[in-house]
Amino acid sequence: MLKQRIVTAIILAVLFLGALFGLPFQWFSLVVAGVIFVALWEWANLSNAGRAVSLLYYGVVAVLMAAMFLGLGFDAPAVGLEAAKMILLSGCLWWAIALLWVQGYPSSAVLWGSTAVRLLMGLFVLLPAWLALSWLAAQDGGHWLVMVVIVTVVCADIGAYFSGRAFGRHKLAPEVSPGKTWEGFGGGVVAVLIVISIVIAFSPSQRHLWLEWVIVEVAAVLAAVLGDLLESMVKRHRGVKDSGKILPGHGGILDRIDSLTAALPVFTLFYILLIHSPS
């Protein structure tokens, strides 16, 4: 199983990096949209939606994604910036609501447990994440910004794993994910701060923005943990271990991108507000 997981992870990394660095951002955005559609199908299953409802769901999402892509003008960074900020802000506000639901589980399921509400949740989980990834990729040097988000989530996971195993005592969300601890979360934050400080130290143009980058990174780590917890909550409510079986050794697409679905819009909004300078 471990070998299978490693092989799958390597293949996914090669494909992702090839698309990110090898394709124009428009094509990269379309490739990511394809991944989002697979994740949406898994989310529809987690929502206990039938085939007909799932197909209608697909149609609605396709229209929304096309409208965002064509209407926001990703090829010119300043075009559609205000609209993008509003969509990302809506996504971040959604995650604030999600935090309350995760904290209140299982009692909170009375508010979101219906198929209709869970399908609506899927829109707020996946569409702002796709928009954020597309917007980042469209910027000058945007592929490196995307890599910063990826590395942030990976470092947070690694730091949380080792510090949680070594020091974990206090459960973060026992009803949702019993394995996660506050000590692990703290270790993830520390790991990310160490890495971003090293990166900034070798980036003269960013040194005066160290505090801003720290705020962006801490917000992204908080969101990444919440994204993971939210999917765990929905899977627990549905009574399944994985969101799908498309990735050998890993489960479904949602199982691999759950942290990113929250980290991306939060990182991007904070980056726009604190660091980005429109040309």
pLDDT digits (tens, 9 = 90+) for 125-134: 999 999 999 8
Dihedral angle computed from the Cα positions of residues 6, 9, 15 and 21, in that order, rounded to the nearest 10 degrees: -110
pLDDT digits (tens, 9 = 90+) for 111-162: 999 999 999 999 999 999 999 998 899 888 889 999 999 999 999 999 999 9
Q: Is the distance from CB of 193 to CB of 203 less than 8 angstroms? A: no
pLDDT digits (tens, 9 = 90+) for 217-241: 999 999 999 999 999 999 999 999 8
Q: Taking residues 195-218, what's their average pLDDT?
A: 93
Cβ-based neighbour number of residue 56 at 10 Å: 14
DSSP 249-262: TTB-HHHHHHHHHH
Q: What is the distance between the alpha carbons of residues 189 and 183, in angstroms, rounded to a whole number?
A: 10
Measured on CA atoms in the order 55, 59, 60, 62, is the torsion positive or negative?
positive
Q: What is the distance between the alpha carbons of residues 234 and 109, in angstroms, rounded to a whole number?
A: 9
pLDDT surpassing 80 at residue 205: yes
Alpha carbon 2 to its chain centroid, in Å, reads 24
Q: Is the distance from CB of 267 to CB of 153 less than 8 angstroms? A: no
3-state DSSP assignment of residue 47: coil
Mean pLDDT across the chain: 89
Burial degree of 90 (CB within 10 A; 0-12, 13-18, 19+) = middle
pLDDT surpassing 80 at residue 5: no
pLDDT at residue number 102 = 95
pTM score, whole prediction: 0.93
Q: Where do the structural domains in the chain lie, given as residue ranges?
A: 2-274
Q: Taking residues 251-279, what's their average pLDDT?
A: 90
